[in-house]
Amino acid sequence: MKTGSDIHILIVDDVSDNIQVAMNILKEESYTFSFASDGQEALDLIFTESFDLILLDIMMPKINGYDVCSTVKKMDHVKETPVIFLTAKADADAIAKGFEVGGVDYIVKPFHANELLARVKTHIELSESK
């Protein structure tokens, strides 16, 4: 079972401060991180690197988070990678769509640090147990 620095997380958000906040919370677990500031950059990374989990914003330039997740779920080498939406979109339709396109969880900004940590740990453990 992977631990700490063996776990590679992709954080995708067009606001660098949001990436920094998530990374600062999760770095206490010694995870390894990659970052993307838009959907196209995220897909480019996903084509070339392997990730254990993806934290994905929805409202981004070029390609939105829903489309990124839909694309990921069609790619054989990453379709089982858990995608957690981390977004300010809090309405019921947005949340439902996040699950419909393949997200395993949905966290609304602003979020609590302990909630983010717990959900990330849970989905990494669930993914590894498959």
With bands split at pLDDT 50, 70 and 90, how would you rate the model's confidence at 109? very high
Q: What is the pLDDT of residue 5?
A: 82
Q: What is the pLDDT of residue 4?
A: 76
Q: What is the pLDDT of residue 90?
A: 95
Query: In the predicted model, what is the mean pLDDT of the chain?
Result: 95
Which amino acid is it at 90? A
54-37-90 Cα angle (round to 5)? 65
pLDDT per residue as tens digits for the range 57-72: 999 989 999 999 999 9
Question: Which of 30, 31, 41 lies closest to 7, judged by CA?
Answer: 31
With bands split at pLDDT 50, 70 and 90, how would you rate the model's confidence at 104? very high
pLDDT per residue as tens digits for the range 69-86: 999 999 999 999 999 999
With bands split at pLDDT 50, 70 and 90, how would you rate the model's confidence at 37? very high
Provide mean pLDDT across the span 42-48.
96
Distance between CA atoms of residues 36 and 127, nearest Å:
22
